Amino acid sequence: MSGVRRHYSLMLLAAVLLLLPLVLPNNFYYDIVIRMAINAIIALGLNLLIGFAGQISLGHAGFIGIGAYASAILPTHFGWHPLLAMAAGAAIASSIAAILARPIFRLKGQYLAMATLGMGIIIAIVIKNEAAYTGGPDGMPVAPIGLMGFEIAGEKQWYWVLAATLLFSFWAAKNLIDSPFGRALRALHGSEVAAQVMGVDIVRYKVAIFVLSAFFASLMGSVTAHYIGFVTPNIADFFHSIELVTMVVIGGMASIYGSLIGAVLLTALPQALSTFEGWETVVFGSILMTCMIFMPKGLVPTLAARFGRNGREDP
Amino acid sequence: MLPQFLQFLFSGITVGATYALAALGFTLIYNASNVINFAQGEFIMLGGMLVFYFMQAGLPLPVAVALAIAIPAVVGMLLEKLAIEPARDAEVVTLIIITIGASLVIRGLIQIWLGKGAHSYPGFSGSDPIHIGGATLLPQSLWVLGVTALVVVALWYFFSRTLAGKAILATSCNRLAAELVGINTQWVLLVSFALSAALGAIGGVLLTPITLTSYDVGIMLGLKGFVAAVVGGLGSGLGAVLGGLLVGVIEAMAAGYISSAYKDAVPFILILFILFFMPRGILGAQVTERV
């Protein structure tokens, strides 16, 4: 892919993000867009793992929980600076991912799913039980975050912060995928044995991408905590992990823009479903099943194949 | 000291038997189709909730139990026919998400139909506890253990002595080879889902008088059944039973001696240990991968 063409889609995204404030009528819509952006960044990190390394994490909300609660607990109970707390959270999440990944990735298939599932649930239970620090099931308030004297407050300021983060994440992910590292990852998804024969250290690559996605998730957990100003254990629970995997898979595995579309759709869905009163779970489940049965590759790759310009999807 | 230990052991084995049934369900479906069915827990929930509903409606217990096992079996077959079969060639992640979608649909429908409250019904043979060595045992626990043992024997007979059972085993060994010798593998898949759903429902029907049930108990019970299946070695029937009992007993001991607040975390800590130190589980087969 040529240099200019690969930036078309990024420029389009930048334009949409710039123009969006012109059509957002009030803070309620800003709020939804901000949540979409947060989810899109997490889904992007997860997609690197699921779509490109072919591994599945069923406990990603656990990493988000670590970030969120690091940002809540360290400044409140220990007087840390929020940025330092955010970094500490990301460091803890990445370390857990690294410790977990080394032995697990030597195994095959669905074992990472099981290990991450266990890890996520343990983190959620710890958060619920250590009420002295975490506020237990009721949650706890989070101090606001400041950058060089400016405090980020209000939906409009958060919008610009997240728009910039989103754009940067997509740019970084695109570069990563086109780098030797990204090619190694894709080779790995295609055939592990072939990749190994070609000299790719598969365990090292898988660990790296898993740690990276945990890092992303923890940072966004911190951001969510500061943005909402309150955290509850729900942020770390199993259902949240499933939602994230669903965003990736519905949007399209191994498709960067798929993650964006998946995050946008799944964040909007509960709002749209609130009119169904009581039927939300059923409708959500049905949509999930229908999408997966009829579009197992996800929305973006399926549509790209149907209306494909050059018969090859844009990764 | 000893009575306390016995008490924990009894409650562990009782709950463990239910995990074992769920784990057997996971194993059956995994062997037949390589799918990990995350809706398995919902069948446990369905079993308990349906008995409650039919008894409220005035049906006698045996009829209520029969219906509460038959209906989930039908739901299991529908799940296979409508959702798993059309997506046969999809990736594992996709299939996992389909079963998660199915579990949401089942849970949501029950919540709308029977509400969010916790329900129970009396034990099958009263609730006068039996005293053994200073500990007490509910008669319902004996039902749980007895029926589970019967089910395990029946399954063993089915798989080792009947043509249908052997057809399922053959399919799980090698699908293509099974098809070539004339086994209807679609039928095998359908039976596996029905059987697996029925096993889960039996667990739910038996356990509910002891632990209560509500629309959302399925997730935890299902996940613990899944842990049990992995602990025993995914794919091994005997392993699933041992894994279930082990998870139940360790959970009860940890709740009693260490911390009841962290009771639900125990199976998941266990699964991490197993994956780190004996990744094939207790009785899992040595797997060689074909390229």
- B214-228 residue pLDDT tens: 988 888 898 899 889
Give the residue from chain A lying closest to B226, CA to CA: A114
- Chain B residues with CB under 8 Å of A121 CB are 223, 264-265, 268
Residue B185 is inside which H or E element, if any?
A: helix B185-211
Instruction: Tell me what pLDDT residue A137 has.
Output: 87
- Integer Cα distance of B187 and A179 in angstroms: 47
A60-78 and A238-251 helices, crossing angle to 10°? 130
DSSP string, B9-51: HHHHHHHHHHHHHHHHHHHHHHHHHS---TTHHHHHHHHHHHH
B288 contacts chain A (CB < 8 A): no
Q: What torsion, rounded to 10 degrees, do the Cα atoms B106, B108, B113, B114 define? A: 90
- Integer Cα distance of A44 and B216 in angstroms: 30
Residue B241 is inside which H or E element, if any?
A: helix B237-253
CB contact under 8 A, A292 and B261: no
Instruction: Tell me what pLDDT residue B90 has.
Output: 79
- A79-132 residue pLDDT tens: 888 889 999 999 999 999 998 887 777 766 667 777 888 899 999 999 999 888
Instruction: Tell me what pLDDT residue B275 has.
Output: 80
CB contact under 8 A, B83 and A289: yes
B126 contacts chain A (CB < 8 A): no
Contact present, B229 and B280 (Cβ < 8 Å):
no
The answer for A 117-136 residues in CB contact with B (under 8 A) is 117-119, 121-122, 125-126, 129
Instruction: Tell me what pLDDT residue B72 has.
Output: 96
Is the complex ipTM higher than 0.85? no
- Chain A residues with CB under 8 Å of B39 CB are none
Task: Select the residue from B105, B217, B219, B227 to test the A interface by mutation, using most A Cβ atoms within 10 A.
Answer: B105
Q: What torsion, rounded to 10 degrees, do the Cα atoms A107, A110, A116, A120 define? A: -160
Of B106, B276, B291, the CB nearest to A193: B291
B86 contacts chain A (CB < 8 A): yes
- Integer Cα distance of B37 and B98 in angstroms: 9
B102 contacts chain A (CB < 8 A): yes
CB contact under 8 A, A50 and B92: no
Domain ranges of chain A: 34-237
- Integer Cα distance of A185 and A256 in angstroms: 14
Of B94, B219, B276, the CB nearest to A296: B94
Instruction: Tell me what pLDDT residue B289 has.
Output: 45
Residue B158, burial from CB neighbour count under 10 angstroms (0-12, 13-18, 19+): middle
Residue A92, burial from CB neighbour count under 10 angstroms (0-12, 13-18, 19+): middle
- Phi and psi for A231 in degrees, rounded to 5? -125, 145
B216 contacts chain A (CB < 8 A): no
In three state form, how does the secondary structure of chain A look? CCCCHHHHHHHHHHHHHHHHHHHCCCHHHHHHHHHHHHHHHHHHHHHHHHHHCCCCCCCHHHHHHHHHHHHHHHHHHHCCCHHHHHHHHHHHHHHHHHHHHHHHCCCCCCHHHHHHHHHHHHHHHHHHHCHHHHCHHHCEECCCCEECCEECCHHHHHHHHHHHHHHHHHHHHHHHHHCHHHHHHHHHHHCHHHHHHCCCCHHHHHHHHHHHHHHHHHHHHHHHHHHHCEECHHHHCHHHHHHHHHHHHHHCCCCHHHHHHHHHHHHHHHHHHHHHCCCHHHHHHHHHHHHHHHCCCCHHHHHHHHCCCCCCCCC
Give the residue from chain A lying closest to B103, CA to CA: A285
Confidence class for position A4, pLDDT limits 50, 70, 90? low
CB atoms closer than 10 angstroms to residue A110 = 20
- Integer Cα distance of B249 and A26 in angstroms: 55
Q: Mean pLDDT for each 10-residue chunk of chain B (291 residues)?
A: 88 93 90 85 95 94 95 96 85 83 93 90 86 87 94 91 88 86 89 94 94 88 89 83 93 90 88 79 56 43
Residue B146 is inside which H or E element, if any?
A: helix B139-161
CB contact under 8 A, A296 and B90: yes
- Integer Cα distance of A209 and B212 in angstroms: 43
- A165-216 residue pLDDT tens: 999 998 888 888 888 888 877 777 777 777 777 777 778 888 888 999 999 8
Instruction: Tell me what pLDDT residue B205 has.
Output: 95
| More confidently predicted of A310 and A8 | A8
Instruction: Tell me what pLDDT residue A1 has.
Output: 45
CA angle A62, A282, B224 (to 5 degrees): 45
- Integer Cα distance of B98 and B92 in angstroms: 10
A202 contacts chain B (CB < 8 A): no
Fold of B2-277: ABC transporter involved in vitamin B12 uptake, BtuC (1.10.3470)
- Integer Cα distance of A117 and B223 in angstroms: 9
With a pLDDT cut of 70, the percent of chain A lying above it is 93
Q: What torsion, rounded to 10 degrees, do the Cα atoms B251, B253, B258, B260 define? A: 50
Q: Is the pLDDT assigned to residue A309 strictly greater than 60?
A: no
* Mean pLDDT value across residues A28-56: 88
* Mean pLDDT value across residues A23-36: 87
* Mean pLDDT value across residues A244-272: 87
Q: Residue for token digits 């089915």? A: B158
> What pairing do the DSSP bridges indicate for beta strands B135-137 and A150-151?
unpaired
B286 contacts chain A (CB < 8 A): no
- Chain A residues with CB under 8 Å of B92 CB are 56, 109-110
Of A104, A110, A282, the CB nearest to B36: A110
CB contact under 8 A, B90 and A119: no
Q: What is the DSSP letter of B131?
A: E
- Integer Cα distance of A125 and A62 in angstroms: 10
Q: What is the DSSP letter of B281?
A: T
Confidence class for position A148, pLDDT limits 50, 70, 90? low
CB contact under 8 A, B87 and A125: no
Instruction: Tell me what pLDDT residue A288 has.
Output: 84
B276 contacts chain A (CB < 8 A): yes
Residue B210 is inside which H or E element, if any?
A: helix B185-211
Of A103, A109, A249, the CB nearest to B94: A249
Contact present, A250 and A266 (Cβ < 8 Å):
yes
Phi-psi region of B3 (alpha: psi -120 to 50; beta: other; left: phi over 0): alpha
Distances (CA, A) of B137 to B34, B131, B134, B247, B272: 38, 6, 10, 19, 32
- Integer Cα distance of A301 and B3 in angstroms: 62
Residue B103 is inside which H or E element, if any?
A: helix B92-114
CB contact under 8 A, A249 and B90: no
Amino acid at B44: I
